[in-house]
A and B are shown apart, each in its own frame.
Chain A
């Protein structure tokens, strides 16, 4: 199935460190979304981006919609233990309806 290229696959960091992850696509998207998934739970929406070049923050999280519309990044500043989980990027092409194309996920581990 179709997937976005998300990197890194996993990260092991110390509490207080900043984190950066990104997604790239071979095709253009109109919307980029970032979700977090905890074990046994559904993905929870963190940030939604709707315009190329848009930079949006949600607390310690900041995400950007790439100017080419083919990429996006998510930064987490001053990580804390509850940031642990799997982060997914997702893109949507409005010409293909509402379906989301997901990245493979970045598994984040935070050492206290």
Chain B
């Protein structure tokens, strides 16, 4: 158990819909990262928040957005869903913003299926 929790575990929805994925980081961790894992693209970095502020952006679509709340949990919002958005979405957390010996620990993921 990494200490990172994600809900829900599975999500099945239809095209055009909007969903929210939730992540609680390990106790004491200030950074939260979101990654998408698909068969064709592998594990891809989406976005990073540190202590409530967005700090880095990767291959995140404009239809996707995220935020980190004062209690440090984070939500990833996916809207106008398309079939190609079906994937595993992972949250990871670490103590620091970046660098040094900072290490990311991953949650169990949310499997999103868009029908």
Residue numbers of A with Cβ under 8 A of B are: 1-3, 30, 33, 35, 40-45, 48, 50, 88, 90, 92, 94, 96-105
Contacts and interface: CB of A to CB of B under 8 A. Distances in A.
Contact of A30 (B43, B99, B107): B99
Contacts of A92: 98
Contacts of B96: 98
Task: Give the top 3 A-B pairs by smallest Cβ distance, nearest first.
Answer: A42-B106, A97-B56, A98-B98
Interface residues of B, number: 34
Contact of A41 (B45, B92, B108): B108
A99 B43 contact: no
Nearest to B94: A98
B48 interface: yes
A48 B42 contact: no
Contact of A35 (B33, B106, B108): B106
Interface in B31-59: 31, 33, 35, 41-45, 48, 50, 55-56, 58-59
A29 to B, nearest CB: 12
Contacts of B42: 1, 3, 102-105
Given A94-B99, A98-B94, A98-B96, A44 B2 contact: yes
